[in-house]
Structure formats: C-alpha cells, structure tokens
Amino acid sequence: MRTFEKLFFVFMVSVFLSVSAHAQFSWPNGAKAAVVFTYDDGLDCHLDVAVPQLDEFGFKGTFYCTGNSQSLYNRTDDWRKIARNGHELGNHTLFHPCDGNKAGWVKPEYDLNSYSLEQLLEELKVANTLLKAIDGKENRTFAYTCSDITAGGEDFSGEIQVLFTAARRDGPIPETMEGYDVFQATSRMVNENSADELIATLEEAKRKGTIAVFMFHSVGGGYLNVGAEEHHALLQYLNEHREEFYCDTFFEVMQYISKNL
C-alpha cells in the first residue's frame, strides 16, 4: 500500500470511529453528548453562587440535599424557589452516613457498617418525605453518600430502585451507552480542578458520545471546592457550545436514557 493510500485509510478509520462514537446513542436535537451538573450536601454556596451562575446561562442543576443540612433548615423558602424554577432537589439521605472504614471522619452512629439495610431504607423514605414537603414532587433521584452502596455489609443498590428513578455515584466517563445503568450512573468528583480540566471532561464525553456528570460540593470556597471563576468558565464554555451537548437535570437526563436505550 502506497503512502497516500495508507494516510487515506488511517483518515477514514478515524472518521469512522468518531462518527461511530457519536452515533452509538441518539441525544436530543443532534447533541453529541450529555452533561449534568450535580451538587452535594445542600450548602449555602449552592444558593448564593452555583444557582445564579446556572441561571445566567439558563442551565438547570441537581442539588442532593441531606436532611440535616443547616442551609435546608435556615433557607427552606430559597430551596423551594429554585425547585419551582426548574432545578432538581435530590435525596442524599438524612445524616450522610458513610463507610467508616474508608472515611475516618464519620461518626460511629453514622457509619454504614453499623446500619442495617432496613434502617437505611427507612432513612431514605423519611428524606423523600422531607423533600416532598419542600418541592411537592414524588419522583426523585438519589446520590450515594461517599458513593458507598452497602449498609451493614449488604448491597442496597438494588433495593433503592423502588424509591428512586435513578442514582448517582463516582466513576469515569462511560466508554459507551450500551448497557448503561441509571442506578449506577458515574460522575466526576470536582476538587480544586482548573477550568481547563473541567472543560476537558466535557470534551471527553463528546469524543465518546456518552455523558459527563459533574459531582460538585463547595462552589467558591469550602471543602471539595471548585472556584467560582472556574465554575463560571465551565458554564460559559458549555453555553458557547450548547448545540453539542444535551444539558438538563439528572432526573430528566436519566429519564431520557431509560426511554431510549
């Protein structure tokens, strides 16, 4: 094979692979990938920084609130208002229990190893009731606390499917949408990442034709933080390329995937 023919062959293969990646799943309006912004723990900075920036560009976020969030208690009307404006309130348990063997900061009473399966499920039901009192909604999604899926040594990821429509944990950008499990949706945890790194996550999802779910905590200062400027730069980049991405709440995107797989 002559040099020109080799180069042409390589070019056609790369085009085919690129087209195949984007064609493996049909996103709305010809988008090449999906993107979801999620925020954990129900923090004041979500109301004060994240929501105004999302609203500036017309994007919707999903806010996973713990029932014992001080912000949820002190600013209930503000949380109710953002729900009315199209942002999603998701279940993140009442007390944020985690596996104490992996997270040394967990209080003994909130160690998932000491929970029973029944105890965890009851906590999730009460958290659903609390959130329904705020936004009036019955269908809801869940974010695993610390991405842990066991309570008292039992895997509860199957049990929660009667309580929720989808669930999020940590993990890489999926290589394919084939066999995608909306109850094990992976997300990129953000911790002091630069705007360029965040944008690279979007581009990775676009190359693969799949989905980028961001897991934020503090925005503009705090633990597991993303700078306000970096957060804004990510949203601005997405706004400038919004025809390439399907962006909505976690609930809406997971519903779309479930109906179209």
What's the structural domain count of the chain? Answer: 1
Residue 95 lies in a domain: yes
pTM of the model: 0.91
Range of the domain at 37: 26-260
Residue 54 lies in a domain: yes
State the distance between the two ends of the chain, measured CA to CA, in whole angstroms: 41
Q: How far, CA to CA in Å, does 27 sit from each of 125, 206, 253?
A: 32, 11, 10
Q: Is the sign of the CA dihedral 238, 239, 242, 247 positive or negative?
A: positive
- Which CATH number characterizes residue 147's domain? 3.20.20.370
Beta partners for 213? 36
Residue 232 lies in a domain: yes
Q: How many helices (H) and strands (E) does the chain have?
A: 9, 12
Distance CA 223, CA 225 (A): 5
Q: How confident is the prediction along the chain (261 residues), in pLDDT tens digits per residue? A: 555 454 444 344 344 444 444 457 999 999 999 999 999 999 999 999 999 999 999 999 999 999 999 999 999 999 999 999 999 999 999 999 999 999 999 999 999 999 999 999 999 999 999 999 999 999 999 999 999 999 999 999 999 999 999 999 999 999 999 999 999 999 999 999 999 999 999 999 999 999 999 999 999 999 999 999 999 999 999 999 999 999 999 999 999 999 999
Residue 15 lies in a domain: no
Residue 6 lies in a domain: no
Residue 72 lies in a domain: yes
